[in-house]
Amino acid sequence: PWYFMEEKYPEFGNLMPRDVVSREMYFVTHESDCEPQVYLDMRGISKEIFQKRLSDLRAELLHYGKPDPEKEPIPVEQGIHYFMGGIDVDVFHQTNLRFLYAAGECCSQYHGANRLGGNSMLGALYGGQVAAKTILKEGESSSLYASEEFSFPQANEESASRPTEYAAKDDTPSTDPEGSRHDEETPQITAKMASLLYESLGIIREEKSMLRALEGLSLLLQEEGLTETDRNRIMLGEAILRSALFRKESRGAHFRSDFPDRDEAFCGLVTAIRKDGKIEIDIRKKREDSKGRTKETKRNET
User: Mind telling me the catalytic residues?
Assistant: 18
Q: How far is the C-alpha of 281 from the C-alpha of 287, rounded, in Å? A: 16
Q: What is the DSSP string of 70-117?
A: TTS-EEE----------B---TT-B-SSTT-B--GGGB-SS--SS--T
* SS3 (DSSP) at 302: coil
Where helices occur in 109-173 by DSSP H, the ranges are 119-141, 157-160, 162-169
Evaluate whether 108 touches 88 at the Cβ level (below 8 Å). yes
Q: How far is the C-alpha of 162 from the C-alpha of 26, rounded, in Å? A: 48
CA angle 115, 121, 126 (to 5 degrees): 115
What are the backbone angles phi and psi of residue 101, rounded to the nearest 5°?
-125, 155
DSSP state of 64: T
Closest CA to 108 of 245, 272, 266: 272
Strand partners, 259: 256
